[in-house]
A = this chain, B = another copy of it.
Amino acid sequence: MTATAPQTSPRKRASNGTARRIDADEIGLDALVGHAGYAVRRFQIWIFQDFIRTLGAVDIRPTQYSVLTVIGANPGLSQMAVAKRLGIERARLVHLLDSLEQRKLVKRVKSKADRRSHALHLTVQGETALAKFKRLAAEHERHVEAKIGKENRAQLLRILAGFT
């Protein structure tokens, strides 16, 4: 597991006592290669970076996109319902919605049925914007496909279908 290929790039003690550079690709990961979590984490970081870059022009991040999508598909949901469904802390969702409401994408409507809660809706502007975000997100998804392969992406979705 301990890689020691002969290369050039940080510094390492050589047989003659002088130092040479070590390339990142010759540093062994040892037990990490057997951990799904390590690869999944690195992959997730890559995906988010691509998503943020691809939707950079509209300034929408993954969590914001997921909130808008769920509200768009389920108008009238309460904040608690959205938070639970997406695994976001309700305290965190307050700030996310503050931002989306300031941008006139979402509106909080006082619920008549339960006056403690807010019914969440997209604004007309929000509907239009979300349609654009979805086109960009689809473009991002094609980047994923290009990165790991169409068939592998499909298998990944199948394997992880339970984590929704």
Residues of A with Cβ closer than 8 Å to B? 1-3, 10-13, 18-19, 22, 24, 27-48, 51, 62, 66, 69-70, 72-74, 76-78, 80-82, 84-85, 87, 111, 113-114, 117, 134, 137, 140-141, 144, 148, 152-153, 155-157, 159-164
Question: Is A76 a contact of B31 with CB atoms below 8 Å?
Answer: no
- A39's partner among B27, B35, B148, B164 (CB-CB below 8 A) is B164
Q: In the bound complex, how far is the Cα of B74 from the Cα of A24, in angstroms? A: 11
Chain B positions within 8 Å of A29 at CB level: 69-70, 73, 85, 164
Chain B positions within 8 Å of A73 at CB level: 1-3, 28-31
Q: Which residue of the partner chain B has the closest CB to A159? A: B152
Q: Which residue of the partner chain B has the closest CB to A154? A: B36
Question: Is A22 a contact of B81 with CB atoms below 8 Å?
Answer: yes
Question: Is B39 a contact of A160 with CB atoms below 8 Å?
Answer: yes
Question: Is B39 a contact of A161 with CB atoms below 8 Å?
Answer: yes
Chain B positions within 8 Å of A164 at CB level: 29, 32-33, 38-39, 42
Known contacts A31-B134, A37-B48; 14 additional CB pairs below 8 A are A1-B73, A3-B74, A10-B77, A10-B81, A19-B114, A22-B77, A27-B77, A29-B69, A29-B85, A36-B157, A39-B160, A40-B160, A42-B163, A44-B44
